[in-house]
Every structure is written in C-alpha cells, then in structure tokens.
Amino acid sequence: SLCKRHLRMRVRLFLLSDTRAKRGKMGHQQLYWSHPRKFGQGSRSCRVCSNRHGLIRKYGLNMCRQCFRQYAKDIGFIKVRF
C-alpha cells in the first residue's frame, strides 16, 4: 500500500510536469507580443512603413525620419535657410 501510494504520487508528478512542459513550448514571439503595448516606443510606429525607429511625433505626424524626408514637400513643409 505504501508502494502503491508512492507510485501514484510519482505518476501525478510526471503528469503535472508533462503539462507544464507542453505549456512551456509557446513560441518566443507569441510570449513577447502577448504583452499589451499601450505606451512607450513599442506602441508607436510609422504610419507609412511601420518602422519603430526615428519616429517624428510632433504635430501628430507619426512618421519615421526617412519617410518624413521623402514626403515633407507633399505635406507642406519648407526647408528654411538663414
């Protein structure tokens, strides 16, 4: 009876560890993007190319600097020389 109890306990531990191992196989990207992005650099991206680096947020542009240079004239920005 002690041996049976011990065996049952080992089987339960094995089954628990097996389900934990299956849960742990969730991919890195799934885990990384499961966190909500409400604020910070990860929540904002360029409206043109979806780049997250070099973002110009002033005046509600929300464009990366490369796209801004490409579309600045179309938007109405003029380069001022002093």
Per-residue confidence in pLDDT tens, the chain, 82 aa: 567 776 776 666 666 555 555 555 667 777 777 788 898 988 999 999 999 999 999 999 999 999 999 999 999 999 999 8
Q: Which domain holds residue 80?
A: 39-82
Helix, coil or strand: residue 19:
helix
Same domain for 57 and 29: no
**CATH number of domain containing 65:** 4.10.830.10
Q: Are 56 and 75 in contact (CB under 8 A)?
A: no
Same domain for 30 and 44: no
pTM: 0.59
Same domain for 26 and 54: no
Q: Are 61 and 69 in contact (CB under 8 A)?
A: no
CA 18 – CA 24 distance, rounded (Å): 10
